[in-house]
Structure 1
Amino acid sequence: MRILLIEDEPELARWLSLALARQAGYVVEWADDGLLAERRLRVEEFDAVILDLGLPGMDGQTLLGKMRARDDRTPVLVLTARDSLANRVDTLHLGADDFLPKPFRVEEVEARLVALVRRSRGREHPRLSCGSLVLDTASQRFTIHGTALALSPREHSALRVFIQKSGEPVSKQQVLERVFPDDKEVNQEAVEVLVHRLRKKLAGTDVQLVTLRGMGYCLEQVAHGDLRQA
């Protein structure tokens, strides 16, 4: 998952970013200013937002209100030291999806993020699936027809992007941002290579990566007698 962490405490932000990357394989991007974060949220897509309320530039509650006013439904987990009942109620009314006071454990942050993204996609259990392809979000393991799918780390990251958006178009740029977040030298040909490898590993199954010309790729369940050439 690609997460935007909006937090003005550098030590906390570095620790949480590293912990979520190591423990769950998340791509965590950091903004330490509310105005900067608001600009990014207008033009970029994230799977979830971790939001502190006490921010410079624009406070977290104002930022949250602006997101919801323009119908940005990205799940938001609020982290804050303000632990009064009135504050929690106000923040939830503004559109927060969950609320976690400081201090916290990274395991709880991860579990709450999984639950938020699952709910945002209408899931009732901690698995993402498309046909016989399943990603268990607890173990971060892909299976197909119940058998573990052997994937390189980047293949795993790319397939996770596609299954999180199954049935929807995913652009090459979106894959680049999630799989190669820190490598500005990588171009879209790297995405084409990953898609080629994934197609080989999904060949003969009921799941296929379909090319949507001018839009990107889409992970779809395909009827056995209706397999299409990508």
Structure 2
Amino acid sequence: MDLYSFFNSSTSYRVRIALALKGIETNFHCVNIRVGEHRDAHYVAKVNASAVVPAIVDGDFHLGQSLAIIDWLDGKHPEPRLIPAEPKLRAHVLEFANLIACDIHPVNNLRILKYLTDVLKVTPEQKDAWYRHWVAEGMQAAERLLDEAAAREGGPWCFGAAPTLADVCLVPQVANALRMGCDLSAYARVMAAYRHASEHPAFVKAEPKNQPDYTA
């Protein structure tokens, strides 16, 4: 199995966590999105038609989009399961994961920030304000969902006693927000889940600084 990834991509980070939790080793391929390698014609035609990272190639099967990849991994390598089978818990985990993946990440990823600065010519201060605004909106909602989950499931992870897709999505988003200087001190449950996950060997293995293409 081949993984196409970039160390500082939070969506790639999600897939690396899932792979590490399941103990799956891959052949690593760096796709440097900072210099546009994700738009290379061969990559788009043969690996990922969406022209983004991450991507998985397994024989003649190739797949992009982190949540689709993790769902596929759950089907192919079901232990440990990251998207629960029980319908209500599954729905809550997907609700939380989609909050991260659909409401926070898309408006703050690299191509959006570059469009703000390169095309719309916003100032660095305006770009940072944009980033902080959407992080704050998203994290407020995440905190409320984790409050509800704590009352239902308890446990040190986002939803109970084991990591799920919720934790897989939360950790890269929090890491990005901290890297961008966001104050997350108001989100006690978010940060408790983040700190707990960050001590797990699979999450450590997946960290950007531990990737072969890492640059400071």
Fold match (TM-score > 0.5): no
Larger helix proportion, structure 1 or 2? 2
Rg larger in structure: 1
Q: Could you state the TM-score of these two structures normalised by the residue count of structure 2?
A: 0.29
Larger strand proportion, structure 1 or 2? 1
Q: Could you state the TM-score of these two structures normalised by the residue count of structure 1?
A: 0.28
